[in-house]
Structure 1
Amino acid sequence: MTMTPWGDSEALRERQLPPGAGVAREAVVQNQRERLYGATVAVVANRGYRATTVADLTDLAGVSRTTFYRYFADKEACFLATLELIIAGVIAETRGRLDAPGSLPERAESGLRGFLGCWPPSPTRPVSAASRLRRLEQQRSESSTPRSPSSRRSWPASSSSCPTSAGCRRRSPQRRSAACAKSSTLACTATQRPSSRKWPPD
């Protein structure tokens, strides 16, 4: 069981509206989307974003794949929509309390209580599913951002730029040591073969 802003994850299926002509289309759409939002929070919090599949979400929410793709292009779109609603709700609750009448300390305390109250605790986890969802979104963004060539590690140097490459190793030990000292690279020092000659000499 995982508590979400849309209720207990195990009760999402039970929220399904009964079929019938008397139910407004808008109510059906809202109900289905909210169940998918709740399923996203629960599944991602327990399995992680990468391991979560569309089938996991539709199964927990009790909707078909056709219904899912009617509202969302893919898993990521559903995830981002869920996250946006959670953050918007937290901001609205906190701002409403901060703007209420009262002294600054009273409003600050009320705003903090409202902020913390937006993250329902999970009975099985010390951190709520919604807060973990925010961390997973940050990880997802970082993993999907390509690294620029300048930010990649250039050490150790390639063998072609190191004096102890194949060409350098054909030199005598004295010339090889001189070349390594001149290059002043750790890669060269790490790959230099030790000389069998005793040093310092007696």
Structure 2
Amino acid sequence: MSILLENHIVELLLERNDKAMSLLYEHYGDTLLGVAFKVVRNEELAQDVLQESFMKIWKNSDRYDPNKAKLFTWLFRIVRNTSIDKLRSVNTKSDKEIQIDVSDVYKLGTEGVNPELMDVQDNLDKLDDKYQIVLDALFFQGMTQQEASDELNIPLGTIKSRLKIGLRELRKIYGSVLLLTSMLYIF
């Protein structure tokens, strides 16, 4: 795809012009459907994911920043994350159907847990920027460590170190049990 066409699509998205969606579908639809299918391994689910993804793209078009990522990278992440969410949703639904009689599996002891303290993302601002960036990429943008390394242009070893130190710093804020519980809510 030419840079001119990509820039035109971005402009249309930012203007909330319907033409942007038809251009996106025309130029990226097949590839993004392939991304969804690779994750969910089901044609019908992949089509649902693509439709949901395009709705998210439209709703969040003002969040796209060409200085942070190419348009395809941004689209790819939305489709990939939506695919993962869909797969988890389907798996959770089937798990619940299987475990109808089991109500106490995986009960977490939450006595004394203050719900206001459970939002890890709100407490990231208490960490140094270098740790915030890595934790945000890994936990809230759904990147793997290698993807974060590539996207942030930071060596993989540094990503791993910053993850470890960032989690240690959050543990100081929450305490080890609270951090584990908080991280479970993320996934």
TM-score tier by shorter-chain length is under 0.3
Greater RCO, CA 8 A, separation 6+: 1
TM-score (norm 1): 0.24
Computing the radius of gyration over CA atoms, which structure comes out larger, 1 or 2? 1
TM-score (norm 2): 0.25
